[in-house]
Chain A
Amino acid sequence: MALLQIEHLHKRFGALAATDNLSLQINQGELHALIGPNGAGKTTLISLLSGSLQPDSGLIKFHGRNFLQVPETIRPRLGLVRSFQITSVFPEFSALENVTLVLQSQQGHSFRFWKVARNDFELRSKAKEYLKQVGLDRESEIPAYALAHGQQRQLELAMALALEPKLLLLDEPMAGMGPEESLKVVELLQQLKGKITMLLIEHDMDAVFSVADRVSVLVYGHVIATGTPSEIRENKEVCSAYLGEHEIPVAN
């Protein structure tokens, strides 16, 4: 069953067609990887889905419902959550405060003016769980700007998870991570697989081909192929358009 349906999506920046007649379907429960060369329009697609960009034309359906008119700030509440390729956290807040703020927004409006937010121990312990899930529980009191790059990426992930997404859009979650940290993220993805539907953008082919259920290839804003990892590996068009520059990993 299709959880997310994208039909004939277009987005131009001036003369550049960043998203060009893009159609894609993401099924309930799958981990769908999106690969493509730099500048193919992957991040643009995520921004269109999350609502921070408006498409010029096309259709986005989530749970069978037209999503184009849904404001950016409502989409996360309906279960469509994104993470950012370039780390985007609240730098002066501690890791814990970052996640607490997310949980706070989960609980509805924040027009509460008097009670001290940090004394909400229920919220804090819940936030700690998410930090633990990404392996950041020991750094919870450190302000985000002081975290190492890899740890900030982990925090980014924890914040997305705390929104309890139905569909999680992950924009290169492992970008700039060391091999060990990457491995941890792959493990985490494997754990989440099946519970949360995911659209994973990633340049690390080993990771992509080992975790993805299906893979789509994006070139110049257009999806040129979709299929299982092995289908994609054997697709001639994909090889010439994109994978040619990479080593094609052998399934293990």
Chain B
Amino acid sequence: MMVSENFEARLMLGVGILLIGFPWFADWLDEPYLVSTASRIWIYALAAMSLNLLVGFAGLVSFGHSAYVGVGAYVVGILAWHQYEETNFLGLPGTLEGFISIPFAMIVSGIVALGIGALCLRTRGIYFIMITLAFAQMLFYFFVSLEQYGGDDGLMMMDGRNKIPGLDLGEDRQMYWLSLVALGLATWFLRRLSMSRFGMVLHALRQNETRLKAIGVPPYPYMLVAFVIAGALAGLSGALLTNHMEFVSPDFLHWTRSGDLLIMVILGGIGTWTGPILGAIVFLLLEEFLPLLFQEIGLYLFSEHWRLVFGPLLIGIVLFAKGGLHALVFKQMKGVDGAFAN
């Protein structure tokens, strides 16, 4: 749609290719744990990206997105647990094969999104926000009450990460590459999607639902399909997250996680391509390094209670920094299209 967007896409591709080399850079810095931090960032960026499809493109503010991340995460965890225990789940054996459990996680998340979306999408606006939140909470309690799978405490992946032929996910670098590639593919897929006829309908939906109906397009099925796609991609990110942490718990579905994902999208720049990624990077880096920073400069109170700073920071960003980091980074390059930001 815009010239600058093409530029942005090429920039992303370039930076993405450079990032393949990041593990060696971390080695060179002698900080190998950074590889693990970076994997986490890409996994969350993927979740934020999928949420952006709803919030940024279709204009649907879902406040329960962590539910689909959590469902995907639990699918991988539960399959691994049955494999370890050598028991069956509904007559099916467990598995540690990534080629089975990761796509299966996406499918289950997609189906859950279909069910919940079918109900939530009967409403709009504030109702939609509250109901997506409520259903996410329902799934949270559902997993809490699953005593068999650890209840509150969650599940460990006793046999380690999933197996994928040709990869050794047990090694942090390979986990990193898998996460990066997943994010890259998802971004590419969503970009194509956004430019397709389907994408045009979603963009139109955000701008003017009344008119969309008047030209003969029923919004509901399009929103539902978008909801399912977003759910499945969130499920993918959940599947990767379980692998990365070798652990899953109801905490993955906690409602504040949904809030975190929304923040990443807004912080980075709603409805943009690099936005959710930038948002995830900055959010998780702040989370990780803000306490250290306060420690460094001697503000010990804040180093333990960094959220005291983070909360108001958030409010400030919402109230005063429209367009998020994306607007900050790409402002100069936008030219004529700059006006789109508002």
The interface of chain A, by Cβ under 8 A from chain B, is 50, 52, 71-77, 81-82, 84, 88-93, 97, 100-102, 104-106, 110-118, 143, 145-146, 159, 163
CA distance A197 to B197 in the complex (A): 30
Q: Is the CB of B214 within 8 A of A84?
A: yes
Give min CB distance, A120 to chain B, whole Å: 8
Residues from chain B with a CB closer than 8 A to the CB of A76 are: 214-216
Q: Is the CB of A112 within 8 A of B196?
A: yes
Give min CB distance, B87 to chain A, whole Å: 39
Residue pairs across A and B with Cβ atoms less than 8 A apart, 30 shown, are: A52-B213, A72-B214, A81-B214, A84-B214, A88-B211, A89-B211, A90-B208, A90-B211, A92-B340, A93-B203, A93-B204, A93-B207, A97-B200, A101-B204, A101-B215, A102-B215, A104-B197, A104-B200, A105-B216, A110-B197, A111-B221, A111-B222, A112-B197, A112-B198, A114-B192, A116-B192, A117-B200, A143-B339, A159-B211, A163-B215
Q: Which residue on A lies nearest to B207, using beta carbons?
A: A90
B186 contacts the other chain (Cβ, under 8 Å)? no
Q: Is the CB of B211 within 8 A of A73?
A: no
CA distance A143 to B334 in the complex (A): 15
Residues from chain A with a CB closer than 8 A to the CB of B196 are: 112-117
CA distance A74 to B178 in the complex (A): 45
CA distance A72 to B220 in the complex (A): 13
CA distance A88 to B212 in the complex (A): 10
Q: Is the CB of B216 within 8 A of A110?
A: no
Residues from chain B with a CB closer than 8 A to the CB of A105 are: 201, 215-217
Q: Is the CB of B200 within 8 A of A71?
A: no
CB within 8 Å of A: which B199-258 residues:
199-201, 203-204, 207-208, 210-211, 213-218, 221-222, 225
CA distance A114 to B200 in the complex (A): 12
Q: Is the CB of B218 within 8 A of A73?
A: yes
Q: Is the CB of A101 within 8 A of B214?
A: no
Give min CB distance, A236 to chain B, whole Å: 38
Residues from chain A with a CB closer than 8 A to the CB of B309 are: none
Q: Is the CB of A88 within 8 A of B216?
A: no
CA distance A91 to B225 in the complex (A): 24
> Which residue from A84, A100, A111 sits with its C-beta under 8 Å from B211?
A84
Q: Is the CB of A115 within 8 A of B197?
A: yes
CA distance A212 to B225 in the complex (A): 45
Residues from chain B with a CB closer than 8 A to the CB of A112 are: 196-198
Give min CB distance, A43 to chain B, whole Å: 13
**Known pairs A88-B208, A101-B204, A118-B1; A110 contacts B215 (CB<8 A):** no
Q: Is the CB of A74 within 8 A of B193?
A: no
CA distance A74 to B215 in the complex (A): 9
A-B pairs, 7 with minimum CB distance: A76-B216, A73-B218, A112-B197, A110-B197, A90-B207, A88-B211, A116-B195
CA distance A111 to B197 in the complex (A): 7
CA distance A91 to B207 in the complex (A): 7
Q: Is the CB of A118 within 8 A of B211?
A: no
> Which residue from A77, A117, A143, A145 sits with its C-beta under 8 Å from B216?
A77
Give min CB distance, A208 to chain B, whole Å: 24
CA distance A159 to B225 in the complex (A): 26
Give min CB distance, B122 to chain A, whole Å: 15
Give min CB distance, B194 to chain A, whole Å: 10
CA distance A82 to B216 in the complex (A): 11
Q: Is the CB of A74 within 8 A of B216?
A: yes
Q: Which residue on A lies nearest to B218, using beta carbons?
A: A73
CA distance A92 to B56 in the complex (A): 13
**Known pairs A73-B216, A84-B214, A88-B211; A110 contacts B195 (CB<8 A):** no
Residues from chain A with a CB closer than 8 A to the CB of B193 are: 113
Between B192, B211, B339, the greatest number of chain A beta carbons within 10 A of the residue's beta carbon is seen for: B211
Give min CB distance, B167 to chain A, whole Å: 28
**Known pairs A73-B217, A163-B215; A143 contacts B340 (CB<8 A):** yes
Between B201, B204, B211, B214, the greatest number of chain A beta carbons within 10 A of the residue's beta carbon is seen for: B214
Residues from chain B with a CB closer than 8 A to the CB of A104 are: 197, 200
Q: Is the CB of B213 within 8 A of A72?
A: yes
Q: Is the CB of B198 within 8 A of A111?
A: yes
**Known pairs A93-B207, A113-B192, A114-B196; A106 contacts B216 (CB<8 A):** yes
Q: Which residue on A lies nearest to B195, using beta carbons?
A: A116
CA distance A72 to B199 in the complex (A): 22
Give min CB distance, A90 to chain B, whole Å: 4
Q: Which residue on B lies nearest to A82, using beta carbons?
A: B214
Q: Is the CB of A52 within 8 A of B214?
A: yes
Give min CB distance, A32 to chain B, whole Å: 20
Q: Which residue on A lies nearest to B199, using beta carbons?
A: A117
Give min CB distance, A136 to chain B, whole Å: 17
Residues from chain A with a CB closer than 8 A to the CB of B207 are: 90-93
